[in-house]
Structure 1
Amino acid sequence: MPSVDDMTTTTASANAGAEPYPHPGMFRQLMTDSGYVITNFPLAVAGFIVVVVGFALGVGLGITLIGLPILAGALLIARAFADIERLRMPAVLRHPRVRPQYKVANPDANIWRRVVTPITDTQSWLDLAHAVIRLPIGVFAFVVTVTWWAAAVGGSMYWAYDWALPSPGGEEDLPQLLGLGDSTGARIGLHTAIGVFFLITLPVVVRGCAALEASLGRALLTGMAEMRNRITVLEEQKRAAVSAEATALRRLERDIHDGPQQRLVRLAMDLGRAQQQLDTDPDAVRRTLDEALTQTRDTLNELRALSRGIAPPILVDRGLPSALAALAGRGVVPIDLSVDNTLGTPAGRLDPALENAAYFVVAEALTNVAKHSRATECWVSVKRTGDRLTIAVIDDGEGGAHVSKGHGLAGIADRIRAAGGALEVVSPVGGPTEIKAELPC
């Protein structure tokens, strides 16, 4: 199989992707969460003071119109603190950064319209609410995190500095209260055990504190944006599904009109001619009926080919591997097929809609290879990795493939987008061409 490391991506259509933030190690995550919680405390204090003071002044002086610029300034400051938080959250939540679209005044708007615009923006008020609510949660998380770190480090290292601590005098210390005696070993053992407990639970507790603060930020700072993005994605998928089905119906109508319909018309004419020749020329009738029989066979073959393009019976009965093997066997160009065999087992079968989409992608890609690529060899790979189905079709043709209306790849892009997947076409001039699709299982 040819290497594609040096290819240039010419066309891409993506919707969903892999996890953008892979899970780090436990120690690295602990350090990330601890840094997030500790630095959040001064940011929360500063944001609370500035925003609350600005909001109070703006509301108090609102009747004099001087308060409007102050209130707008408070909201813009809250937006700045919110943007800082949006930059910090992905490391904790392992989620891509999302920034909402704020209202923007028209370029020709006057100064008062520009001042009022932030005040009429819903997200600006959510930013202000986050700056206020963030402080008590930040204080709680900061106190818990620092306490757990101090107890974990101080307790587990108690043996190293026990000798330097002053004796309790006549008062009973913790080991004595628990009935363990007042020996040095009992004291060190108890404090070390407490430190080990805090050390073991430290990642969980710090993770909970960081997730609590980050979840508040996500709910107030990115929740509306994520919902709008999701609505946009669903609308795009709906449009892509409608476009894909419309294209498939138009193609089916054209194929039926150009193929079986013309043959059926010819068959009707042949049968009519045979009827006229029945009494006058029996030999001509025999020849006409032979031609009609040939037309019938050809029509049946074309109808079978059309049905395979819609939903081949082998795909329904035996699964994707067998259907793709049959498809490769009919290929004009030699095809090296590699399919995950588990996709054909009862336990590994995909959703019927996903199987149809995968079959359509490979069939359309191979059709493009046969018609346009001038390739001498083709490689097809279909495998399932986790919850993603990856399809790759590579040929050694002349390249130059691209996604645009009127081309077969446009139908592939619409079908994949409708299924929530992603398509990438790498096809430099001179080849080779790689069509890679990912579909969510």
Structure 2
Amino acid sequence: MSTAVLPPMTTTAPAPHPGLRARVRRLGVDSGYVLVGFPVAIAAFVVVITGLAVGAGLLVIWAGVAVLAGTLLAARGFAALERAQLPAVLGRPVPVPAYRAGEGGVIRRTVTPLRDPQTWLDALHAVLRLPVAVLSFVVAVTFWAGALGGLTYGAWDWALPDASGDPDNTDLLELLGLQSSAGSRIALYTGIGVAFAAALPFAVRGVALLQASLGRVLLTSRAATQAELGRLSQGRDAAVAAEAVALRRLERDIHDGPQQQLVRLNMDLARAQRTMERDPEAARAALGEAAGLARETLEDLRALSRGIAPPVLADRGLAAALAAVAARSPVPVDLAVDLPGERLAPVTENTAYFVVSEALANAAKHSDATTCRVEVTCTGDRLRVVVEDDGVGGAVLAPGHGLAGLADRLQAVDGTLAVDSPRGGPTRMTAELPCAS
């Protein structure tokens, strides 16, 4: 008879809930920000107010300029410390403004902070931050004291002096007209502690956001404006570059195609004119060749015009224009279009049409693909264009390559382009741009 030996049973304590850990961490971050920010705000206020006052008083002997510049540089240091703390409180990164760089001689470099608007915003923040920091500090300390004192009241109630028989020493229960005892006091103050503990995260979070919002407005709003201007400038440069590339390509295509055909057409017509009298048959043959060449030139010009702005796009919209592009493609195309009922903005339709047209042309020329799939969807406020083929791959999105022009064109309308094309294929190109109607 054998007995089976069972492994010893082990119990594992449940792990703390992720949401609870996040709330505790948030409370710690907000509390540290508020409590540490109070002495820093006092130091910044004293340094900036004193420096501005002394600098203004010494301006008559020019020494005030150096004092004011040093004060603004100190304000910049306090502002940098505040910006370093803002992401943890706000939960997102904050932009850093570009300060004016010093240049020229010693005097010009010395007064550079005085000519920088952001340094004055830093000084303004140091002045306005103190009353907000005082309020935040008082609220945070009050709620922390109420929560900790109330929750632990039962552990130290015995150490308080007995107030019985002393009419001038009354506790809260007696002030409320109730009978006071050790048990009732512990119950009351513990309940107050629970209420403070429940409200503590919200109160501390509120004052932390109030203080951080002041820093965000004064210390990062100008940086956000600078970043937006930079993005718009990049978009403008990208639009100019894309337009220049398109014009050069159109010029090259016209020179290599219709222009040469028109030269030959002119020569054929001149030859027919010379031979009209002595050899009518040869003249009719030359005119026939000229007519055929004129038809070919017209078809080439129509093909070139489709790459710029096809009439079907303006008349019937993006879906019809993409269907025409797919029908003309040498590679079979599986087209799926999901667009809203109303027309999109002309710049959106033109850009999406150009992206699909260029992507299919590149697939036909370079990928050796047997099939392509095009998906165009408008979700929310973004238009998503996906072009995928089963070719050999190897497409890269790098300066100097054909896809760089597409990226520039998309950047000009606040769009993006991503290319996934490993060696051996397949190639998947994804473009996103604003889906404004």
TM-score by length of 1: 0.69
| Cα distance in structure 1, aligned partners of 2:269 and 2:110 | 83
User: What are the equivalent positions in structure 2 for 1:98-177 lying under 5 Å apart?
Assistant: 98-106=95-103, 109-110=105-106, 112-148=107-143, 173=172
Using the TM superposition, give the Cα deviation of residue 346 of structure 1 relative to its aligned residue in structure 2, in angstroms.
1.0
Note closer, same or farther for the CA distance 1:149–1:313 as it changes in structure 2 (3 Å cut).
farther
| Cα distance in structure 2, aligned partners of 1:305 and 1:25 | 60
| Cα distance in structure 2, aligned partners of 1:436 and 1:309 | 20
Matched, 1:96 2:93: yes
Give the partner amino acid of 1:371: K
Checking the alignment, whether the CA contact within 8 Å between 1:36 and 1:210 is kept in structure 2 is yes
What per-residue deviation string (whole Å, max 9, x for no partner) do you get for residues 152-185 of structure 1?
A: 7777x599779879799786847985x9998989
Checking the alignment, whether the CA contact within 8 Å between 1:175 and 1:186 is kept in structure 2 is no
Checking the alignment, whether the CA contact within 8 Å between 1:391 and 1:436 is kept in structure 2 is yes
Q: CA RMSD in A?
A: 4.9
* Partner of residue 214, structure 2: 216
Give the partner amino acid of 1:240: A
* Partner of residue 412, structure 2: 418
* Partner of residue 231, structure 2: 233
Note closer, same or farther for the CA distance 1:56–1:380 as it changes in structure 2 (3 Å cut).
same
Checking the alignment, whether the CA contact within 8 Å between 1:72 and 1:118 is kept in structure 2 is yes
Tell me how many residue pairs correspond in the alignment: 407
Checking the alignment, whether the CA contact within 8 Å between 1:380 and 1:393 is kept in structure 2 is yes
Matched, 1:199 2:194: no
What per-residue deviation string (whole Å, max 9, x for no partner) do you get for residues 14-42 of structure 1?
A: xxxxxxxxxx9777655544443333222
User: What are the equivalent positions in structure 2 for 1:305-324 lying under 5 Å apart?
Assistant: 305-313=303-311, 315-316=313-314, 320=318, 323-324=321-322
Using the TM superposition, give the Cα deviation of residue 426 of structure 1 relative to its aligned residue in structure 2, in angstroms.
6.3
Checking the alignment, whether the CA contact within 8 Å between 1:72 and 1:115 is kept in structure 2 is yes
Greater mean alpha carbon deviation, residues 45-54 or residues 166-175: 166-175
Using the TM superposition, give the Cα deviation of residue 123 of structure 1 relative to its aligned residue in structure 2, in angstroms.
2.3
Greater mean alpha carbon deviation, residues 34-43 or residues 388-397: 388-397
Note closer, same or farther for the CA distance 1:228–1:345 as it changes in structure 2 (3 Å cut).
closer
Matched, 1:36 2:43: no
User: What are the equivalent positions in structure 2 for 1:346-365 lying under 5 Å apart?
Assistant: 346=341, 350-365=344-359
Give the partner amino acid of 1:132: V
* Partner of residue 9, structure 1: none
Matched, 1:86 2:80: no
| Cα distance in structure 2, aligned partners of 1:102 and 1:249 | 39
Using the TM superposition, give the Cα deviation of residue 132 of structure 1 relative to its aligned residue in structure 2, in angstroms.
1.5
The structure that has the greater radius of gyration is 2
User: What are the equivalent positions in structure 2 for 1:314-393 lying under 5 Å apart?
Assistant: 315-316=313-314, 320=318, 323-333=321-331, 339=336, 341-342=337-338, 344-346=339-341, 350-372=344-366, 382-384=376-378, 386-393=380-387
What per-residue deviation string (whole Å, max 9, x for no partner) do you get for residues 73-98 of structure 1?
A: 33222111111111222333455332
Using the TM superposition, give the Cα deviation of residue 361 of structure 1 relative to its aligned residue in structure 2, in angstroms.
2.0
Using the TM superposition, give the Cα deviation of residue 252 of structure 1 relative to its aligned residue in structure 2, in angstroms.
4.1
The alignment partner of 1:310 has SS state of coil
Give the partner amino acid of 2:105: A
Note closer, same or farther for the CA distance 1:267–1:117 as it changes in structure 2 (3 Å cut).
closer
The alignment partner of 2:405 has SS state of helix
Using the TM superposition, give the Cα deviation of residue 408 of structure 1 relative to its aligned residue in structure 2, in angstroms.
3.2
| Cα distance in structure 1, aligned partners of 2:315 and 2:185 | 72
Give the partner amino acid of 1:199: A
What per-residue deviation string (whole Å, max 9, x for no partner) do you get for residues 294-323 of structure 1?
A: 446545543443343223455456654554
* Partner of residue 5, structure 2: none
Note closer, same or farther for the CA distance 1:165–1:305 as it changes in structure 2 (3 Å cut).
farther
Structure 1: any 5+ residue segments left out of the alignment?
1-23
| Cα distance in structure 2, aligned partners of 1:278 and 1:163 | 129
Using the TM superposition, give the Cα deviation of residue 134 of structure 1 relative to its aligned residue in structure 2, in angstroms.
0.9
Note closer, same or farther for the CA distance 1:66–1:252 as it changes in structure 2 (3 Å cut).
closer
Greater mean alpha carbon deviation, residues 125-134 or residues 322-331: 322-331
Note closer, same or farther for the CA distance 1:174–1:185 as it changes in structure 2 (3 Å cut).
closer
Note closer, same or farther for the CA distance 1:160–1:327 as it changes in structure 2 (3 Å cut).
farther
| Cα distance in structure 2, aligned partners of 1:439 and 1:38 | 44
Greater mean alpha carbon deviation, residues 66-75 or residues 219-228: 66-75
Give the partner amino acid of 1:421: G
Checking the alignment, whether the CA contact within 8 Å between 2:275 and 2:283 is kept in structure 1 is no
Greater mean alpha carbon deviation, residues 328-337 or residues 33-42: 328-337
Greater mean alpha carbon deviation, residues 245-254 or residues 211-220: 245-254
Note closer, same or farther for the CA distance 1:282–1:234 as it changes in structure 2 (3 Å cut).
same
Using the TM superposition, give the Cα deviation of residue 415 of structure 1 relative to its aligned residue in structure 2, in angstroms.
1.1
Using the TM superposition, give the Cα deviation of residue 356 of structure 1 relative to its aligned residue in structure 2, in angstroms.
1.7
Structure 2: any 5+ residue segments left out of the alignment?
1-20
Give the partner amino acid of 2:434: P
The alignment partner of 2:341 has SS state of coil
* Partner of residue 5, structure 1: none
Using the TM superposition, give the Cα deviation of residue 410 of structure 1 relative to its aligned residue in structure 2, in angstroms.
3.7
TM-score by length of 2: 0.70
| Cα distance in structure 1, aligned partners of 2:24 and 2:196 | 17
Give the partner amino acid of 2:309: A
Checking the alignment, whether the CA contact within 8 Å between 2:146 and 2:192 is kept in structure 1 is no
| Cα distance in structure 2, aligned partners of 1:120 and 1:210 | 32
